[in-house]
Amino acid sequence: MRDLASPFGRGARVHWGLDERLTFLNHGSFGAVPLELLERSAELRREIERNPIDGVWRGAMPQIRRVAEQCAAFVGAPPQSTGFVTNATAGINAVLGSIPLSPGDELLHLDHGYNAIWQTLKVIARRRGVVIRQVALPLPVSGAEQVVAITMAAVTPATKVLVLDQITSPSALRLPVADIVAAAAARGVEVVIDGAHSPGMLDQPAAEAPQAAAWTGNLHKWTCALRGCALLTVRPDLAAQIHAPIISHHLDEGLTAELDWQGTIDPTPWLLAAEAIAFMDRFGGWDAVRRHNHELATHMHAMLCERLGLTPLSPLDGSMLGSMATLRLPDSLQPQADDRGPEQLQAALLERFAIEIPVMEFAGVRYTRISCHVYNEAADYEHLATALEQLSQARA
């Protein structure tokens, strides 16, 4: 296919169905599917429905394995122990539900981790009698060495598993997973990497720490695949111990056999995953896409901190950022007795300024998180700065 003619920024929005009035700064939550992929999905679904038995059973299942191997190469994962799941949360559930644990074993999770994974750990603790602990990582963070030191200081002789975000969801920090995995391995601790944001944001993220027990990441975020499309890869020597999140006909026939058939589903998101990767590659190649997104996040993080008078949560050189950045909101926008929570501010940004961006509270402090993709440009974040200034002045 030829490269797309549109430049990065506003010109690239023609390839997405985003409302023209909307400043969309929340790609990190659910992604945004290109129009071309939406059209292909409708076409493929119509093709499957000509004969659903042939389309789902005979046709899709063999193709799913081929596409999974293509996607494994994209993230740097071993194809023989990699397959699709619906999202990274499902991947974490599969691993933690299968990995050998005994009552009293300890599982660690950084407090910057995704809340849904902490809920998963709670259920694992109830069912299996293990102990779960959150490791507090104070903000701001000075650098990777601090993260490694804090994480490893929390490890005890009872620690068996560390669930570690590659890119943290609330704080948008790129964590030094390779260093942490190596240090954990020396202590006999297995690491399960939650790489929800990593595919398309980082180059071959699953290969960053091959010693990890498992890695899982969403393709429906930065890779712009259809929603319900993620990868799970398991270190080959552990693959026989891990089962798919949904047990179906191929139990004990191997991890990939179990992952390739998890009951009757719409196979379209998985079948088109490689096409999503190829689509984004047409923006001058994946190196150019990642460079644009990272540089935009780095520069806009610095701009917003300077313009709003904010202390950055991570180094301004972008060394701990991917394609997102989280900012502590100005004091006047912090929780007050008369407000109705972060949703009120998020709604005000959408309704008054047509800005879609998350607002969250973490450890009692209110933050917002910017996402940067190929259809974003500096003007989007200047608009955000103006909106926050006006809201801040109104509450001062």
**pLDDT tens, residue by residue, 103-142:** 999 999 999 999 999 999 999 999 999 999 999 999 999 9
Average pLDDT for 6-10: 83
Q: How far apart are the first and last CA of the chain?
A: 53
Q: Please check whether residue 38 is in contact with residue 389, taking contact to mean a CB–CB distance below 8 angstroms.
A: no
Do 161 and 246 share a domain, yes or no?
yes
Residue type, 213: A
Asked if pLDDT for residue 1 goes beyond 50, the answer is no
From residue 72, alpha-carbon distances to 29, 98, 129, 263, 290 in Å are 22, 21, 34, 22, 18
Token pair for 46: 């119509």
Alpha-carbon radius of gyration of the chain? 21
Distance of CA 119 to the CA centre of its chain: 17
Same-domain status, 19 and 84: no
Domain CATH for 376:
3.90.1150.10
**How many distinct structural domains can be found in the chain?**
2
| One domain for residues 292 and 184 | no
Is residue 111 in some structural domain? yes
Residue 183 lies in a domain: yes
Q: What are phi and psi of 106, to 5 degrees?
A: -115, 135
4 part of a folded domain:
no
Angle made by CA atoms 380, 381, 383, in degrees to the nearest 5: 70
> Is 14 among the domain residues?
yes
Per the domain annotation, does 5 fall within a domain? no
Neighbours of 289 (CB within 10 A): 22
pLDDT band at 4 (very low <50, low <70, confident <90, very high): low
The token pair at 110 is: 């950084």
Q: For position 341, what pLDDT does the model report? A: 84
Q: Does residue 220 form part of some domain?
A: yes
| 115 and 192 both lie in a single domain | yes
Mean pLDDT calculated for residue range 185-214: 97
> Residue 214 sits in a domain of what CATH number?
3.40.640.10
Domain that holds residue 374: 10-32+285-395
Asked if residue 2 is part of any domain, the answer here is: no
Which residues in 64-77 are b (16+ Cβ under 10 Å) and which e? Answer: beebbbebbebbbb
- Note the pTM of the prediction, 2 decimals: 0.95
138 and 158 belong to one structural domain: yes
Do 266 and 292 share a domain, yes or no? no
**Together in a domain, 301 and 264:** no
Q: Does residue 3 fall inside a structural domain?
A: no
The verdict on 130 and 241 lying in the same domain is yes
Query: 381 and 263 in one domain?
Result: no
User: Length of the chain, please?
Assistant: 396
Given 244, 276, 308, the domain boundary residue is 276
Q: Which residues contact 126 (CB under 8 A, 6 or more apart)?
A: none
pLDDT at 189: 98
Of 213, 244, 276, which residue sits at a domain end? 276
Domain end residue (candidates: 276, 304, 319): 276
Q: SS3 sequence, 324-382?
A: EEEEECCHHHCCCCCCCCHHHHHHHHHHHHCEECCEEEECCEEEEEEECCCCCCHHHHH
pLDDT above 90: percentage of residues in the chain: 88
Query: What's the pLDDT at 385?
Result: 98
Question: Are residues 369 and 268 both part of a single domain?
Answer: no
- pLDDT tens profile 306-351: 999 999 999 999 999 999 999 999 999 998 877 778 999 999 999 9
Say yes or no: 127 and 67 in one domain: yes
Same structural domain, 47 and 22: no
Arithmetic mean of pLDDT over the chain: 94
Contact between residue 379 and residue 297 where contact means Cβ atoms under 8 Å apart: no
